[in-house]
Amino acid sequence: MSSSPIVHTLVQSTAEVESKRAFEFWRDTALSMSGVTSAGAEERRSFAASRLVAVTAHSTLLHTEGPRVDVERTARHVRQDGRDTITIALVLRGTQYFEQGGRGGRMAPGDISVTDSGRPFLIGAYEDYEEIRLSATRAAFRAHVGEPEAYAGRLIGDGPLNALFATYLRSYAALVPGMTEAEAGIAVEGTLHLFRGLVGARTGAVTANALLSLAAVHIERSLHDPGFGPDALCRALCVSRSRLYAAFADGEGVAATIRDARLDRARGYLSDPALAKESIATIMIRCGFTDPSMFSKAFRRRFGMSARDLRTSNT
């Protein structure tokens, strides 16, 4: 039997925490330990999450399952904790998003992202999710993959090699609690080498499809803000109006996309039994509408019924 040190692992969970305090607990433990903070403004009435944490000399693995959550790493976090790692994240279940340095977008199961802890970023989920994140030191990433600056903000869409990478990463996550430091080091090196073959060369400028994906992230995050519109989206994405409108040319346009996203969110809220006591006016405001008449007309036009009729049909 090897006398080498075993990898330090722990399980973070809200299972033993009172339901109404679960999100606060998760925010102050798991999220804080990860060097991020919650970016969501909505009250959490219930929350349940769990995470395996495995820490080696040169890497940290997080295997997380939980409900929708939005987090950000700000310039203040970067200054305060001095983290210097590159994280490869694999989505196993649910739809997520991330953004760093004007790159990123929506992520579905099988998709992979890369983020740099030395720069601010946004990460979140649209629904219940499961993911694995492997953070390696900058030096290890540079040695086995390449210059981190060439990869940060990359999104690698699902494909045959992603499935191979996912199998490898899942296996490592399952076996790491019983590994020695030396064994884990070999496994992490293998993961980074496989990742290098997966990503290939750096892509060039952000494509129209990538821009649409990033725009969708910002739209979803900003629907509560009545002042959010095409101009604000241009500023958020750091692109010109002409480039943004060109990316939306095959659809209904930027303003219509934002309006429809607001209406879709309103319909979701109106159909949610947990929000049955909230007035239609309150939900309208939560979705960024300020004119009741315009909201009513737009809602009926999109869904073929009034907001009140929809709520009645769900009671």
Domains and their CATH numbers in the chain: 8-199 (2.60.120.280), 208-313 (1.10.10.60)
pLDDT for the residue 43: 56
Of the candidates 303, 234, 237, which has an alpha carbon nearest to the alpha carbon of residue 268? 303
Extract the residue ranges of the chain whose pLDDT is less than 50.
Answer: 1-2, 201-204
Residue type, 213: S
Give the per-residue pLDDT at 1. Answer: 42
Phi (first) and psi of residue 246, to 5 degrees: -65, -40
β-bridge partners, 64: 51, 131
Contact 211, 237 (CB under 8 A): yes
Q: Return the pLDDT at 3.
A: 56
Could you identify the residue written with the tokens 């692109």? Answer: 239
The string of pLDDT tens digits covering residues 193-229 is 889 888 864 444 556 777 787 788 788 888 999 999 9
Closest alpha carbon to 29 in 13, 47, 52, 45: 13
Is the pTM higher than 0.75? The answer reads no
Q: How far apart, in whole angstroms, are the C-alpha atoms of residue 62 and residue 11?
A: 10
Residue 158 has a pLDDT of: 73
Confidence (pLDDT) at 42: 56
Task: Name the nearest CA neighbour of 56 among 151, 197, 177, 219.
Answer: 177
Question: Please, is 195 exposed, middle or buried when counting C-beta atoms within 10 Å of its C-beta (0-12, 13-18, 19+)?
Answer: buried
